[in-house]
């Protein structure tokens, strides 16, 4: 028997079978609610308001979690207003001196421009009757006068089919596009064995040298950012970003790998990321009036699981013992094979990864970081996104690991957490002699939640006020005895669950109070402990200590408004001078741009991925001890934090 499900506010009706999960029914109706927990019922982000009818789970305050509710009869519900999963943010202005912005002009200027695809404007001389040279031969002869490459390009079938018309109608005045046919792995080898391989993928009449584009894309677990570049100049034209459309299938890498267990779900994940990329692409191509056939190369950078899912490869062994990926150096592919809406024969490469949990996004970020600043002394590279990855960079070596930090710093697993986007509290300070919190909201409006840097600030404030102890538990006595009863009153106990209200319902954008529980504070300490202990363990493996670190580079969305001193005080980062920290933004994306633009960088990124030693923390015997010791603020071993000594 099937039931009618009426969905407001858009008044969509859809029929559902008994025992269908409400979330699946909504999905069929084209409504995807965020599911940070992957449908486990823990993130509570998919709740809907029931107006009429009942499900198999009782409604609380008239609301049910759609991932938990099974259909038992007709239903009339209200779904929340669009939650931004479909929103695309487009940027087209990049201050030339913004060292964090993707369009680092200095970076482009110092890059030898040799993109994955090349265009040549040719004047192919007419054939004389005695020569009998074919159209393709004449084209190749003319091309050879312009290319330094010894090897003749292979011609694609589609170019062969267009060749006679374009060549004869334009009297030999044509522009051709060639793609380099090598993945970073091959680029690596090129140093020794010479010639690149080329493929002729496009021919157009006349001079179309100005229509020459490429894309670089960071495929994050949470967000996807796609940059459109003019390959003639190397200039960044525009950047578009949005949530990764896979987010409704799970917030973190592990929940997506679990979701992908069914072949149809794997396909769904691949379709969803492809669709996200194509939406971003479409937004930029429309804005800049670019024909998709003029976009002839692409670089994707992402963690190992995201790249597996983009390529449609089952990632399950990444999560299962012995935790190996199917591929670390993906082969070059054609855009058409991936369903990416640019020139179907465009060369697509994915930045090469190091291991199951240190992916191409890290190689790419390191490429950018090393390019920006010639390393001097031991450097620590930290990427905090949906997961945390660390790399220690020595003179002639690199060693990397992933920390099971979880996505706490992207706001996931924290009831009021959110990513660093409009509405997120990104900074919290204590004002008026410790009597009042003051916060700073991204975008300037009312808050909707707290992002990673705000959480660091918050926990740091609590600690400096004495509201929490070294173990992150609320010190109820201190709070009760506080000379500020207005702040103290914010600590409440509901069903034996202590929580502290950061913003009252009337202060917020959605009239829901923003609060944090004791449990969540301890989750944040777990995350910081994972990162710190990863760092100290890596150093220990090479016989070095925290004090040997000369510089710390931070990448990822989390670092942008981070208060370094507070992060050190919390024990997240090693205790070195704050001015030795540098935040370099979305380095994965910047590295993808370098990979797109220059052969030198394609060779370099392959060398980075090949040369890095990958450490699997879960198989390190010392790791649990290190981790446990780091669970306190700032650490059990205070000698590691000399600057914090009273």
Q: From the CB of 261, what's the least distance to its own copies, in Å?
A: 12
* 391 CB-side CA count, 13 A: 32
Binding range to its own copies, per CB under 8 A, among 90-98, 278-286, 330-338, 476-484: 330-338
Q: Can you give the three-state secondary structure of 572-620, one letter per residue?
A: CCCCCCHHHEEECCCHHHHHHHHHHHCHHHHHHHHHHHHHEEEECHHHC
Q: From the CB of 142, what's the least distance to its own copies, in Å?
A: 15
Q: From the CB of 322, what's the least distance to its own copies, in Å?
A: 4
- Residue 623 interacts with its own copies (CB under 8 A)? no
Q: From the CB of 213, what's the least distance to its own copies, in Å?
A: 23
- Residue 405 interacts with its own copies (CB under 8 A)? no
Binding range to its own copies, per CB under 8 A, among 44-52, 126-134, 253-261, 572-580: 126-134
Query: Which residue lies nearer to its own copies by CB, 83 or 158?
Result: 158
Query: How far is Cα of residue 138 from the mean position of the Cα atoms in its chain?
Result: 46
What gap in Å lies between CA 360 and CA 304, rounded to an integer? 7
Tokens 């109706």 locate to 29
Q: From the CB of 174, what's the least distance to its own copies, in Å?
A: 14
- Residue 157 interacts with its own copies (CB under 8 A)? yes
Confirm if 201 and 294 have CB atoms less than 8 A apart.
no
Q: From the CB of 327, what's the least distance to its own copies, in Å?
A: 4
Dihedral, CA of residue 508, residue 512, residue 518 and residue 519, to nearest 10: -120
Within 10 angstroms of residue 54's Cβ, the number of other Cβ atoms is 15
- Counting residues that bind its own copies (by CB under 8 A) gives 56
Question: Which of 56, 105, 152, 507 forms a contact with its own copies (CB under 8 A)?
Answer: 152
Tell me how far CA of residue 187 lies from CA of 184, 193, 366, 517, 607, in angstroms.
Answer: 5, 10, 18, 51, 9
Binding range to its own copies, per CB under 8 A, among 52-60, 288-296, 318-326, 483-491: 318-326
By CB under 8 A, what part of segment 167-186 binds its own copies?
168, 183, 185-186
Question: Which of 119, 256, 272, 328 forms a contact with its own copies (CB under 8 A)?
Answer: 328
Residues whose CB falls within 8 Å of the CB of residue 46, separated by 6 or more in sequence, listed in order: 23, 33, 34, 35, 65, 66, 67
- Residue 61 interacts with its own copies (CB under 8 A)? no
Instruction: With H, G, I as helix, E, B as strand and everything else as coil, classify residue 325.
Output: coil
Q: Using CA of residue 304, residue 305, residue 306, residue 311, what is the dihedral sign?
A: positive
Phi and psi at 212, nearest 5°, equal -150, 95
What gap in Å lies between CA 247 and CA 251, rounded to an integer? 5
What gap in Å lies between CA 376 and CA 361, rounded to an integer? 23
String of contacts with its own copies for each residue 572-611, x by CB under 8 A: ----------------------------------------
- Residue 137 interacts with its own copies (CB under 8 A)? yes
Query: Which residue lies nearer to its own copies by CB, 439 or 614?
Result: 614
Question: Which of 316, 446, 512, 541 forms a contact with its own copies (CB under 8 A)?
Answer: 316
Question: Which of 355, 413, 454, 574 forms a contact with its own copies (CB under 8 A)?
Answer: 355
String of contacts with its own copies for each residue 272-311, x by CB under 8 A: ---------------------------------------x
What gap in Å lies between CA 405 and CA 427, rounded to an integer? 21
What gap in Å lies between CA 611 and CA 607, rounded to an integer? 6
Q: From the CB of 577, what's the least distance to its own copies, in Å?
A: 35
Query: Which residue lies nearer to its own copies by CB, 70 or 317?
Result: 317
- Residue 144 interacts with its own copies (CB under 8 A)? no
- Residue 616 interacts with its own copies (CB under 8 A)? yes
Helix axis angle, 184-193 to 599-611, nearest 10°: 100
- Residue 154 interacts with its own copies (CB under 8 A)? yes
- Residue 262 interacts with its own copies (CB under 8 A)? no
Across the beta sheet with 154-155, what order do the strands follow? Answer: 117-123, 173-180, 198-205, 154-155
Q: From the CB of 119, what's the least distance to its own copies, in Å?
A: 20
Q: From the CB of 277, what's the least distance to its own copies, in Å?
A: 16
Question: Which of 225, 227, 301, 356 forms a contact with its own copies (CB under 8 A)?
Answer: 356
Confirm if 389 and 538 have CB atoms less than 8 A apart.
no
Q: From the CB of 205, what's the least distance to its own copies, in Å?
A: 15
Binding range to its own copies, per CB under 8 A, among 125-133, 210-218, 499-507, 549-557: 125-133
Instruction: With H, G, I as helix, E, B as strand and everything else as coil, classify residue 513.
Output: coil
DSSP structure string for 90-102: EE----TT-TTSS
Residues whose CB falls within 8 Å of the CB of residue 225, separated by 6 or more in sequence, listed in order: 217, 218, 239, 240, 241, 280, 586, 589
- Residue 313 interacts with its own copies (CB under 8 A)? yes
Question: Which of 129, 262, 289, 486 forms a contact with its own copies (CB under 8 A)?
Answer: 129
Burial of 506 (0-12, 13-18, 19+ CB in 10 A): exposed
Q: From the CB of 128, what's the least distance to its own copies, in Å?
A: 7
Question: Which of 112, 165, 504, 510 forms a contact with its own copies (CB under 8 A)?
Answer: 165
What gap in Å lies between CA 210 and CA 227, rounded to an integer? 18
- Residue 477 interacts with its own copies (CB under 8 A)? no
Query: Which residue lies nearer to its own copies by CB, 82 or 125?
Result: 125
Q: From the CB of 187, what's the least distance to its own copies, in Å?
A: 13
> Using CB under 8 A as the criterion, which residues of the chain lie in contact with its own copies when the complex forms?
127-137, 151-152, 154-157, 160-161, 163-165, 168, 183, 185-186, 189, 193, 195, 197, 311-314, 316-317, 321-333, 337-338, 355-356, 614, 616, 619
């Amino acid at each position: 028997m099937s039931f009618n499900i009426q969905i407001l506010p858009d008044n969509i009706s859809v029929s559902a079978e008994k025992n269908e999960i409400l979330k699946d029914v909504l999905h069929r109706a084209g409504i995807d609610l965020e599911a940070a927990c992957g449908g486990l019922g823990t993130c509570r982000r998919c709740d809907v308001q029931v107006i009429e009818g009942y499900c198999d789970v009782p409604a609380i305050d008239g609301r049910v979690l759609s991932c938990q509710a099974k259909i038992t009869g007709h239903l009339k519900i209200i779904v929340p207003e669009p939650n931004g999963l479909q929103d695309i943010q487009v940027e087209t202005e990049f201050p030339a001196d913004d060292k964090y912005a993707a369009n680092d002009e200095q970076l482009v200027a110092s890059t030898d421009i040799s993109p994955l695809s090349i265009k040549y404007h040719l004047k192919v001389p007419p054939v004389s009757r005695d020569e009998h040279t074919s159209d393709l031969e004449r084209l190749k002869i003319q091309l050879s006068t312009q290319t330094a490459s010894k090897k003749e390009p292979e011609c694609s079938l589609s170019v062969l089919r267009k060749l006679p018309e374009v060549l004869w109608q334009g009297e030999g005045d044509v522009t051709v596009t060639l793609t380099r046919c090598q993945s970073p792995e091959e680029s690596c080898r090129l140093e020794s064995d010479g010639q690149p391989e080329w493929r002729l993928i496009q021919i157009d009449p006349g001079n179309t040298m100005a229509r020459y584009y490429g894309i670089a894309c960071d495929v994050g677990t949470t967000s996807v950012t796609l940059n459109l570049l003019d390959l003639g100049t190397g200039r960044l034209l525009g950047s578009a970003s949005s949530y990764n459309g896979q987010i409704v299938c799970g917030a973190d890498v592990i929940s997506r790998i679990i979701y992908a267990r069914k072949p149809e779900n794997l396909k769904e994940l691949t379709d969803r990321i492809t669709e996200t990329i194509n939406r971003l692409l479409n937004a930029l191509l429309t804005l800049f009036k670019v024909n998709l056939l003029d976009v002839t190369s692409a670089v994707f950078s992402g963690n190992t699981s995201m790249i597996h899912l983009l390529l449609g490869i089952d990632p399950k062994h990444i999560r299962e013992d012995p935790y190996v990926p199917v591929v670390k150096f993906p082969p070059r592919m054609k855009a058409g094979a991936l369903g990416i809406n640019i020139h179907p024969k465009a060369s697509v490469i994915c930045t090469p990864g190091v291991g199951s949990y240190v992916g191409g996004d890290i190689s790419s970020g390191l490429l950018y970081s090393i390019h920006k600043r010639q390393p001097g002394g031991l450097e620590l590279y930290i990427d905090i996104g949906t997961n945390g990855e660390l790399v220690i960079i020595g003179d002639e070596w690199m060693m990397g690991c992933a920390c099971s930090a979880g996505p706490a710093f992207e706001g996931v697993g924290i009831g009021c957490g959110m990513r660093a986007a409009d509405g997120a509290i990104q900074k919290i300070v204590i004002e008026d002699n410790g009597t009042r919190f003051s916060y700073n909201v991204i975008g300037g409006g009312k808050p909707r939640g707290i992002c990673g840097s705000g959480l660091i600030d918050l926990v740091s404030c609590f600690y400096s006020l004495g509201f929490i102890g070294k173990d992150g538990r609320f010190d109820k006595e201190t709070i009760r005895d506080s000379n500020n009863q207005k702040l103290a009153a914010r600590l409440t106990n509901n069903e034996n669950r202590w929580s502290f209200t950061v913003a009252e319902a009337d202060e917020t954008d959605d009239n829901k109070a923003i609060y944090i529980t004791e449990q969540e504070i301890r989750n944040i300490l777990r995350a910081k402990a994972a990162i710190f202990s990863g760092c100290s363990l890596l150093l220990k493996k090479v016989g070095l200590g925290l004090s040997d670190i000369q510089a710390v580079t931070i990448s990822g969305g989390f670092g942008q408004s981070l208060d370094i001193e507070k992060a050190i005080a919390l024990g997240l980062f090693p205790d070195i001078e704050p001015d030795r920290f540098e935040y370099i933004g979305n380095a994965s994306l910047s590295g993808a741009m370098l990979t797109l633009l220059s052969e030198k960088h394609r060779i370099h990124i392959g060398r980075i991925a090949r040369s890095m030693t990958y450490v699997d923390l879960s198989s390190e015997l010392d790791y649990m001890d290190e981790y446990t010791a780091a669970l306190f603020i700032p650490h059990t071993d205070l000698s590691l934090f000399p600057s914090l000594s009273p």
